[in-house]
Amino acid sequence: MLKIDFKKELNAAQYEVVTTGLGPHLVLAGAGSGKTRTLVYRAAWLIHQGVNPEKILLLTFTNKAAGEMMLRVKNLLGLKTGASLPLWGGTFHSIANRLLRAYGKYIDVPSDFTILDTDDKKSLLKIISKDLLANLPDRHKPSPALISETISFAVNSQISLEESLEYKFSEWLPMLEYFEKVNKEYETRKKNAKLLDFDDLLLYWRQLTLETRAKKIMEDKWEYILVDEYQDTNTLQAEIVFNLSQKHKNILVVGDDAQSIYSFRAANIQNILEFPEKFKNCQLHKLETNYRSTPEILDLANNLIVGSPEQFKKNLQAVKDSHVRPELAALRSNTEEAWFVADKIQYLLSLGMRPNQMAVLFRAAHHSQTLEMELNRRGLAYEMRGGLKFFERAHVKDVLAWLKILGNHRDEVAWSRILQLYEGIGPVTAQLIYQRLLELKNIDDLLDFKLTLADKAASSWSRISELLGILISHKTENIGRLVNFIIEHYSEYLEEKYPDYRQRQDDLDQLAMFASGYASLELFLNEISLQESFGLGGTSQDTDAIVLSTVHQAKGLEWPAVFVINLTNQSFPHPLAVSEEEQAEERRLLYVAITRAEHYLYLSYPLAIYRYDGYKSFQPSPFLTELDSKLFRYNELASKATYAAQDGIEYVPDPDTTVRKPGQFLPDVDEW
DNA sequence: ACTAATGTCCTTTTT
DNA sequence: GGACATTAGT
C-alpha cells in the first residue's frame, strides 16, 4: 500500500473530516470545496487504519461519479487501474440490483428479474391503461407518463398515491380510483413477468434491510458507510441508509443543500437538514473553501444564492487569483447565440485551450440543437450528455428486447415491443400471443410451440420464431454473435422505417462489439439496464471534445471554461416550475451551472427564437436581471435588455442594430 | 384487427 | 416539428 501524507494533501478542514473518529458525521460541503476528494481520502484513511476495504460501502449519485471515485481510491492505494477493489461502491440503484440478485430470495424476489427503465414502465402502463378504461377516450385519461410519475413519487417519498397525486397533479384527483386500479394491475403484471422498475429496486432493498437474515448479512458485510450528494437522496434512500447504519453507526454523509436539484425525483432536502436529529451524537463539519473558481465567478454564484431560503449558512471563500468577470451576452436569435458560442470557443482554442476544457450547459436537452448544427458546420467535435442515452434509443431497445426475452421469456414489455414491429400484429394480437406464451415453462419450449393466427400475423410469427430458434440454439455462445443474428434479421425493418438508418446501423454494430465483451447474458442485461457502462454511443471518455450537457448531468463536474446558454425567462426557470419551492430549485440549478466554471464563464440568451409558428420573442431570465450588474461584463444588447427588464419593460432589439455574421462575435471588451 | 392518413397537443430535469 | 391520438378505410 502506498504511503499517503494526509496532512499535506488536504487542507485543515478536509483533514479533520478525513481523520475524524467513528460514529455519525454530516459534512456540509460547498461547491468546489473538494467534496469528492474528501470522501476518497476518508475511504483511504480507513483502509490505512487497518479497516478491511470489504467493510466499506460507498454510495454515490451517478454511475459516473461512482466510477470516478472508485478509480481515485484505487490510485490512492497504489492499485492498478484494472485491479478489482474489494470495496462496494455505486449508486443506490446499482447496489440494490446486486443485493437483490443475491439475497432477493429472502423476500420473494426472483434472482433473474429484468429491470424496467422509464420507457418500459410507460409502455406497460399504457397497455394496462388501454385495458382498464377502454371506453374512455384517451384525452380524458391521464397519460402513462403522468401515471408513472405519480406512482414513482409516491414510492420514493413513501406517501400514498392520493397524496402524491394531490401534490403533483391535483387536477387529476377525481380519478384517484383509476390510478389505484392501474397501479394494482401494474404491480400484478410486474410480478407475473418478473419485472422490477427503478423504484422497486429501492423499495425491495429497504425491505431487505428489515428482513432478519438479509439484514444480518448486510450488517456483517458493511461497518462503514459513506454517502455522497446526500442532499439529493429521497425518503426511501434515507431510510435505507438509516437502517444499514443502525448496528455500527459509522455513517458519514456529504452534501450541499444549495445544490439540491432533484426534488422532481422525490429528493427530500429534509434528509440533510434533519440528519443531526435523526443520528444521535452526529458531528457537523463544514468545507467552505472553494478551490475551483475565480473570485469573480464565486461572487456571482454567492449573489445568486442570496435570494434562496437556505437553512445551513455557508460562506464560500475563493483561493484562486482574480481573473476576468463573467460575460453576459444577449443575442438577437438562437442562431446568433450559436454563432456567439462557436466564435468564443474558437477564440479560446486559439489561446491554446483544449476542447475538453470547455462545456456548454443548458436547462433542457433539446436546447443544444442549434448549437450542435453550428459546431458540426465548423467541424468542432463535441460530446452530448443528457437527453436520450444510447440504451434508450428505439433501435437499440428493439434489438435488446430479443436478448431480454432470451433471458426472461415472461418479459411482457419486451414481447410487446418485438411483436408489434411486425406486419399484422397490433396491440390485440400481441397481447393474445403473450398470454399463450405464458404457458411455456422454459424458453426452449418455444421451438415446438404452435399458434393459430390470421394470415399476415401467421407469416410474421413464423419469421419471429425462426430468429428465436437461431437464438435459442446459440444461447450459450458469445453475446456479440447473438446480437449479430438479431441485427441481420432486423436490418430490413430498420432501413424501411428510418431514413437515417446508416447512423442507426452504426449504433447497432457498436452494440454488438460492446456485447461481445460479456461472458454471460445475465451479466450483460444487468449492466445495461442501469447504464453502468460508459463510452457507448459515439464517444469515449478520453475524447478531446467540447462537452454539451444539461445542467443536471453536469453536477459534480468542472471545466476551465463554461457557457450557459438559452437563459431566457421561458427556460430558466422552466415555465413548468410554478410553485415557490420549484422556483427555488431552478435557482439552485443555475447556481450549480455557474459553479462548474473555473476561469471563464459566459452566460447568454437569445431575444428571439425561430420556431414552426414564427419568431417568438424572449426576455432575459429573471435570475440574471436581479443580480448585481457590477458582477458582469455586458454586451450592448444585454445591457439594454437588462435595464429594460429592471424597469419592467419588454425589450425588443432595434432592427437597426448592426447585424453580425458568424466569426464576428469575437470579444467586444475581453480583458485578457 | 390493423394500417395509413389526418388532426391535435405540448414541448424538464434522471436512476 | 414531432409525438401521439383519433378516424376512416382495408
User: How much is the pLDDT for A669?
Assistant: 47
Q: Which residues, in sequence order, are bridge partners of residue A254?
A: A27
C-alpha–C-alpha distance, residues A643 and A632, integer Å? 13
C-alpha–C-alpha distance, residues A30 and A490, integer Å? 50
Q: Which nucleotide is nearest to A66 (CA to C1')?
A: B15
For the beta carbon of residue A574, count every other beta carbon within 10 angstroms: 15
Whether residue A147 contacts residue A166, with contact meaning beta carbons closer than 8 Å, is answered with no
Taking only the tens place, the pLDDT of each residue in A465-512 is 888 888 888 888 888 888 988 988 888 888 777 777 777 888 888 888
Q: Which of residues 518-557 of A touch strand B (CB under 7 A)?
A: 530-531, 550, 552-553
DSSP A376-399: HHTT--EEEESSS-GGGSHHHHHH
Q: Is the CB of A364 under 7 A from strand B?
A: yes
Indicate the DSSP class of residue A599.
E
Which residue type is seen at A41?
Y
H or E segment to which residue A317 belongs: strand A317-318
User: How much is the pLDDT for A666?
Assistant: 65
Q: Which residues, in sequence order, are bridge partners of residue A616?
A: A609
User: How far is CA A249 from its chain centroid?
Assistant: 30
What are the CA-CA distances from residue A27 to residues A22, A24, A258 (Å)?
Answer: 14, 10, 13
User: How much is the pLDDT for A535?
Assistant: 47
Q: CA A464, C1' B5: Å apart? A: 28
**A432 CB-near residues (< 8 Å, 6+ apart):** none
What are the CA-CA distances from residue A169 to residues A47, A53, A113, A264, A577 (Å)?
Answer: 48, 46, 31, 12, 13
Q: Is the pTM of this model over 0.85?
A: yes
C-alpha cell of residue A153: 413519487
Q: Is the CB of A629 under 7 A from strand C?
A: no
DSSP A428-472: HHHHHHHHHHTT-SSGGGGGG------HHHHHHHHHHHHHHHHHH
Only one residue has cell 451479466, namely: A523
Q: Are strands A597-606 and A559-564 parallel, antiparallel or unpaired?
A: parallel
Residues in chain A with pLDDT values less than 70? 1-2, 81-82, 133-140, 309-314, 386-388, 531-542, 612-613, 655-659, 666-672
- Write b or e for each residue in A79-103: b if 16 or more Cβ atoms lie within 10 A of its Cβ, otherwise e: eeeeeebebbbbbbbbbbbebbbeb
Q: Is the CB of A143 under 7 A from strand C?
A: yes
